[in-house]
Structure 1
């Protein structure tokens, strides 16, 4: 794969957070103040992958696997502890402003809109920030409104929007400047079926022009690629630095299901967080995310 055809390059990416352990009770609080105990938490551990221009990559894994942290590094929000990453030829955490013009991002739990302003005014501010010509801005807003029905609430302050309305607004804001790379972190939160189909159609249209989309905990398609991240970097069943599976969604679903534990092990749901699949395999605690993989 030539460098010019690679939209995202990740090599040995790691991110470690250091936190202070809070000891219980007042004596413990004093000890924590005088002699704090710090522990390291490895959110991302030595991951490597490429995403070609026009390709969709879905990151699957349980809570704490490092999906959101990976996306935050690639959008320039966080700096990695070690390793390298390039997005559209730009190192995101070194050239944040340049990278921001190349990417769009939707974080399901946060909004990029102005909380106290009507949605329409937020779009106008983003138009000026990204220097989108007014004619192009109007054309894109008309396209988004046709599917997302933004005009029914775009004079409403963002703080008064429902979850579904806010997600639709954030999605339009991320695509407003027509970025070549789009990151979606938990994009299915508050998203209806119509919006899901809109995303699929936008990706197909973008793929024909080299657009790329990366998702964390997201819906996927069988002709796309999936990287499954382990819950704990370095756990026995998953050596650090290796994706558990990279391939089509269908292959990932069947292979990961049969690789979690022997068929003779209990397969009923419960404290183990695992369950049986129709083909006799077993999905582990992140297997429920594989249920999101459906044909369009």
Structure 2
């Protein structure tokens, strides 16, 4: 490999990548083409696997990873995950479910059985059972770009897009044993199945708008007549010269009163009031009710 070869690869793949998404079935995509499709995403990860495996033999890690990833992969595929797009990420797995009819319910079942599989690994005995692994799961719904990517002649179909990073970041923030569904997933679930999801709240500081200033109706006729009376020009036609003479001969205080101007010294400007906030609770996601799912699915 040389820098010249690297430049050749970059130019080749840059040129063959499509400048726009296409409307095609994923199986019909050519190299460098992509199309948008709705998917359910499930991310499952072992919690604290680094500390679990610290000082253990490499064979122990192999046995744990093979048992965990292969079992969960099979479970997700049995519930409709795309077997061509599964992605292993260290001690975790991304599964992508095409958003067909009933897919949300199948994802919910897959999450329950995947979590159950991890819990049951403690019963296997040997080094893996002694580790008593635990997991955390995130399920989400969003649009992904399916693209045919890769340096090989046929290349492979891959699901790509920012929602994958969102799921990965969210999974890092939840605790051991937690299954978290996003608001987008909740909106896709049939109403009668939402009982398996418990809302998760976060407090948010919301600015309280200041009260609107009180305004008074302006009466131009009364204002004009009052001013004319103060200037002595209420009756009869008035020339510009007489208006000018009356204006300059009117005492300043009377003129100020006619114009609605306070002749007293202006008060010191007061600073604007400090902003006021109130605390509101906002739904940021939903935790899966493992207990309710267990009663229904066991």
State the structure with bigger RCO (CA 8 A, min sep 6), 1 or 2: 1
**TM-score of the alignment, normalized to the shorter chain, above 0.5:** no
Structure with greater helix percent: 2
TM-score by length of 2: 0.22
Structure with higher Rg: it is 2
TM-score by length of 1: 0.22
